[in-house]
Chain A
Amino acid sequence: MALLEVEDLRVEFPTRRGALLALDGVSLEINEGEVLGVVGESGAGKSLTGSAIIGLLEPPGRVTGGQIRLEGHRIDDLSYEEMRAIRGKKIGAIFQDPLTSLNPLYTVGRQLVETIRVHLALSLEEARGLAIELLGEVGIPAPERRIDSYPHEFSGGMRQRVVIALALCANPRLIIADEPTTALDVSIQAQIIALLKKLCREHKTAVMLITHDMGVIAETADRVAVMYAGRVAEIGPVKRVVKHPKHPYTVGLMGAIPMVGHDVERLTQIEGAMPRLNEIPAGCSFNPRCPKVFDRCRVERPELMPAGRDAEAACWQFDKEARRG
């Protein structure tokens, strides 16, 4: 059984002019100790998927359909208090901006100790000891001294390390990392990714890594889900998706990334832009931009279907194959 199962998840934002469907039938699974990359452009719904799983949807957004199961138990219908017990204990979170995920008024030690004691039955001294150990583990030099520093006394990269320590402190089964390196410089980004990878391997923690950067995914993830307009367009092992993308959107996305050593005069261009939530076209939401569009795409919406070996894509061009296989 997978650690986390998301099935047909729907998230709506009610507005005066009717409900906007921000997530429309998202299904994915994360296995024990696995890194699942979730990639997509702004507005594709990748962060929303993360917030829905951890129960932190911004109102008025709400889950209106589907199920989220952690270790086989539903967590999408839990009360606020019940969810609080899971958040931090079983599912940790790392957000993009380390400055806003830390309280500027408390020392990092106090924040770590508080979080540890909420989830684990430890005395103050024991919790402090664990906090120092964690800070050392995430690569903060001289942790016994730095534990009494305030967040503003750390640099961006160091702050993100503290946030990782916070997310790991109750030894959760799953960490939702939402753009953990986007606000950081390239050389620091490489450090943080290496750290996250190492720690999760050691603690056997599964990670849902949400990012717009295919490079980060390629280096870190085991499997990847490509999202487009509130749906999963393609899901599969990262190597396969990067090297042999199936869905026309993924193909375009990969060609649009400029790469060192690859001399092209022009990059592949996907014409147009992702549709707004209130004007998602009928049929496949990618059909107006798709180079391989045919009649069926404009009418009927494709679900994820097998597209060759260990590949799943939501695209009608693989339908025949699915039937034959």
Chain B
Amino acid sequence: MARQRAPDPSATPMLEVRDLAKYFDVSKPWLARLIERSPRQILKAVDGLAFDINKGQTFSLVGESGCGKSTVAKLVVGLHAPSRGVIRFEGRDVADAQSRADSAALRRRWQMIFQDPYASLNPRWRVRDIIAEPIRVFGLVKSRREQEDMVAGLLRQVGLSPADGEKYPHEFSGGQRQRISIARALSSNPEFLVCDEPTSALDVSVQAQILNLMKDLQREFGLTYLFISHNLAVVYHLSDKIGVMYLGRLCEVAGAKDLFARPQHPYTRLLLETIPDLEMTGREREPVAGEVPNPINPPSGCAFHPRCPFANERCRSEVPMPTESAGHIVACHAAEEGRLPDATYTPPKQPVAS
């Protein structure tokens, strides 16, 4: 069980991210800028992120759309080049792997599962070819026969039958397609999986199947997950550690239980407040006013200050830096100065099925 495994403090974390940033240039074309005398526009999708993921654990990033969580996923697997910052995989800077063989050896060890199982599988390939692609690319097997055995084994592992390899993606339901994506991700024997909202396109009963499968695979192969989601209940169920993102920055990082038991950052508290109450206590939720601001032109100081009930002058002018106490990292002036009222979140209990 992942949650019970004690982290070894002497070991280097599987993944270390330091001061990671990604800026996108979203300016108008050069000529239009010249005519309108408009300046360049930079979208800071991710700005100064730092976190560690220990081996065999699940680290989750949560946040609303546009907070930059998917950009982080793409940065980590190398689909985007960072504008600034370091990503270290087992203590080694990923950017150092320059030669082709070197970077291939590194890339084999991590894989990604995407959100939309309809868009991430090539509709013109048979499932067995889709799954075998990483095996072929990384040259993991010697013969065709060995490759077929491996694909059959992978299909069985994700709960499909080896005969399904002959079919095309359109013959499968959403949940089955996500199983195919998982089989493909596992085919290069990775140690680290980046999962970008893998269940948000699925129905709850199918989501339960996929989440169970992911937990089983983690236990079996000791996989490490970076899990991206907007669903707090899913994140609670799956994670060891959670990072809450808002407008490209981490506002709070803590152990899963700790974060839900003692939320510090006002944005985390807001998010917890939005979890629908299945216990039916009749609690009237206080919906928080305001929306996520435009990331091209974020508010000054702490980006959350326009929606924050505890904001003061300092929050409007100064960007809060993350500070750590007892393994709980918070980037908030109010928390640092002890201005926040205590918040203990009492989670609704599971309804009892008769």
Q: Confirm or deny: B232 has a beta carbon within 8 angstroms of a beta carbon on chain A.
A: yes
Q: State whether A273 touches B348 (Cβ < 8 A).
A: no
Q: State whether A254 touches B351 (Cβ < 8 A).
A: yes
Q: State whether B212 touches A262 (Cβ < 8 A).
A: no
Q: State whether A256 touches B205 (Cβ < 8 A).
A: yes
Instruction: Please tell me which one of the listed residues B236, B276, B285 contacts residue A258 in the complex, with CB atoms under 8 A apart.
Output: B236
B234 to chain A, nearest CB (A): 5
Q: State whether B351 touches A260 (Cβ < 8 A).
A: no
A209 to chain B, nearest CB (A): 13
Q: Chain B interface: which of A15-23, A88-96, A164-172, A186-194?
A: A186-194
Q: State whether A244 touches B353 (Cβ < 8 A).
A: yes
Closest to B207 in A: A256
Q: State whether B347 touches A251 (Cβ < 8 A).
A: no
Q: State whether A262 touches B347 (Cβ < 8 A).
A: yes
Q: State whether A269 touches B212 (Cβ < 8 A).
A: yes
Q: Confirm or deny: A215 has a beta carbon within 8 angstroms of a beta carbon on chain B.
A: yes
0/1 string, A207-224, CB within 8 A of B gives 1: 000001111101100000
Q: State whether A244 touches B352 (Cβ < 8 A).
A: yes
Closest to A244 in B: B354
Q: State whether B212 touches A266 (Cβ < 8 A).
A: yes
Which residues of chain B are within 8 angstroms of A242 by Cβ–Cβ distance?
278, 280, 351
Which residues of chain A are within 8 angstroms of B275 by Cβ–Cβ distance?
186, 215, 260
Which residues of chain B are within 8 angstroms of A279 by Cβ–Cβ distance?
none
Which residues of chain A are within 8 angstroms of B215 by Cβ–Cβ distance?
265-266
Task: State the CA gap A193–B218 with chains docked (Å).
Answer: 37
Q: Confirm or deny: A246 has a beta carbon within 8 angstroms of a beta carbon on chain B.
A: yes
Q: Confirm or deny: B92 has a beta carbon within 8 angstroms of a beta carbon on chain A.
A: no
Q: Chain A interface: which of B42-50, B76-84, B184-192, B288-296?
A: B288-296
Q: Confirm or deny: B325 has a beta carbon within 8 angstroms of a beta carbon on chain A.
A: no
Q: Confirm or deny: A243 has a beta carbon within 8 angstroms of a beta carbon on chain B.
A: yes
Q: State whether A256 touches B236 (Cβ < 8 A).
A: no
Task: State the CA gap A270–B209 with chains docked (Å).
Answer: 8
Q: A186-B274, A258-B236 are in contact. Are A194 and B212 (CB under 8 A)?
A: no
Q: Confirm or deny: A238 has a beta carbon within 8 angstroms of a beta carbon on chain B.
A: yes
Which residues of chain A are within 8 angstroms of B278 by Cβ–Cβ distance?
214-215, 218, 242, 257, 259
Per the 8 Å Cβ criterion, residues 156-193 of B in contact with A are: 173-176
0/1 string, B98-111, CB within 8 A of A gives 1: 00000000000000
Q: Confirm or deny: A143 has a beta carbon within 8 angstroms of a beta carbon on chain B.
A: no
Closest to A268 in B: B208
Task: State the CA gap A34–B208 with chains docked (Å).
Answer: 31
Which residues of chain A are within 8 angstroms of B285 by Cβ–Cβ distance?
190, 194, 219
Q: State whether B350 touches A259 (Cβ < 8 A).
A: yes
0/1 string, B193-235, CB within 8 A of A gives 1: 0000000000111111101100100000000000000111110
0/1 string, B41-74, CB within 8 A of A gives 1: 0000000000000000000000011000000000
Instruction: Please tell me which one of the listed residues B208, B276, B287, B353 contacts residue A215 in the complex, with CB atoms under 8 A apart.
Output: B276
Instruction: Please tell me which one of the listed residues B65, B176, B207, B233 contacts residue A260 in the complex, with CB atoms under 8 A apart.
Output: B233
Which residues of chain A are within 8 angstroms of B93 by Cβ–Cβ distance?
none
Q: Confirm or deny: B40 has a beta carbon within 8 angstroms of a beta carbon on chain A.
A: no
Q: State whether A273 touches B175 (Cβ < 8 A).
A: yes
Which residues of chain B are within 8 angstroms of A124 by Cβ–Cβ distance?
none
Task: State the CA gap A215–B272 with chains docked (Å).
Answer: 13
A247 to chain B, nearest CB (A): 11
Q: Confirm or deny: A41 has a beta carbon within 8 angstroms of a beta carbon on chain B.
A: yes
Task: State the CA gap A3–B242 with chains docked (Å).
Answer: 47
Instruction: Please tell me which one of the listed residues B206, B230, B276, B291 contacts residue A213 in the complex, with CB atoms under 8 A apart.
Output: B276
Q: A191-B289, A269-B209 are in contact. Are A246 and B354 (CB under 8 A)?
A: yes
Q: State whether B204 touches A260 (Cβ < 8 A).
A: no
Q: State whether A253 touches B280 (Cβ < 8 A).
A: no
Q: State whether B65 touches A259 (Cβ < 8 A).
A: no
Q: State whether B292 touches A190 (Cβ < 8 A).
A: no
Task: State the CA gap A215–B275 with chains docked (Å).
Answer: 8
Q: Confirm or deny: B277 has a beta carbon within 8 angstroms of a beta carbon on chain A.
A: yes
Which residues of chain B are within 8 angstroms of A267 by Cβ–Cβ distance?
208, 211-212, 237
List residues of chain A with CB under 8 Å of any chain B CB: 41-42, 155, 157-158, 185-191, 193-194, 212-216, 218-219, 238-239, 242-246, 251-262, 264-270, 273
The 4 A-B residue pairs with the shortest CB-CB distance, nearest first, are A261-B347, A215-B276, A256-B208, A258-B237
Known: A243-B351, A244-B354. 18 other contacts (CB 8 A): A41-B206, A186-B230, A187-B287, A187-B291, A190-B285, A190-B287, A191-B289, A214-B278, A243-B280, A244-B353, A246-B354, A254-B351, A256-B204, A256-B208, A257-B208, A258-B231, A258-B237, A264-B350
